[in-house]
A and B are shown apart, each in its own frame.
Chain A
């Protein structure tokens, strides 16, 4: 089973700064199987990125995804107040189903 490890666990930044979130897999993950979500308390998770680098419909271009193999990155170029949330990476493991990283909490510094 592929395990996803996200780092850092908590990222403290100010609005306007750049945020870089990491997702590392224990085995190689095909890019088309890698997605990122934003989750705020009391809300449904929101799809940000799929296929490692494709923004979902309606997602601002300050969000970008990159990476391949075992290392993937979500970058938020200029943080807006509404971007402070928990972010999860997710991979599809075929017959093993899906797995999520443990999440990165992006908090206001």
Chain B
């Protein structure tokens, strides 16, 4: 069964860094583009960043560009999100998501259950 499992969340002070991981299993990881999406408490879903299967193309939401770095290790079937200069507004549940194959339609067909990041002093 295809599965994504996020880890690495926790309580961190403002200005500090945190690295999230997403472990993929049950499918061929290196043929899929992958993304991070977050949900702040009481808010909706917000796309954070994404990258193509070979990391050649990377994109970020404007509010995260320059502070967050998305990367992947296809040999380890893993996706990462390096978050620097964290702010209280970055407090959220962070989801890993798989983009559908094919290029004819654009959507996320598999999601993890998320890892919680809390930025507070």
B-binding residues in A (CB < 8 A) = 32-33, 35, 37, 39, 42-47, 50-51, 54, 56, 86, 88, 90, 92, 95-103
The interface residues of chain B, by DSSP majority, are classed as strand
CB of B54, distance to nearest CB on chain A (Å): 17
Question: A88–B106 Cα gap in the complex (Å)?
Answer: 15
- What are 13 A-B contacts with C-beta separation under 8 Å? A37-B45, A42-B113, A43-B113, A44-B114, A47-B108, A47-B109, A88-B44, A92-B106, A92-B107, A97-B59, A98-B35, A100-B44, A103-B45
Give the size of the chain B interface in residues (CB under 8 angstroms).
24
CB of B9, distance to nearest CB on chain A (Å): 15
Q: Are A56 and B44 in contact (CB under 8 A)?
A: no
Of all chain B residues, the one with the shortest Cβ separation from A99 is B47
Question: A44–B45 Cα gap in the complex (Å)?
Answer: 11
Q: Are B47 and A56 in contact (CB under 8 A)?
A: no
A-binding residues in B (CB < 8 A) = 35, 37, 44-47, 49-50, 59-61, 95, 97, 100, 104-109, 111-114
* Chain A residues with CB below 8 A from B61, complex form: 97
Q: Are A39 and B45 in contact (CB under 8 A)?
A: yes
Q: Are B44 and A103 in contact (CB under 8 A)?
A: yes
Q: Are A98 and B44 in contact (CB under 8 A)?
A: no
* Contact A45 B111, CB 8 Å, known A33-B106, A50-B105, A97-B60: yes
* Chain A residues with CB below 8 A from B49, complex form: 97
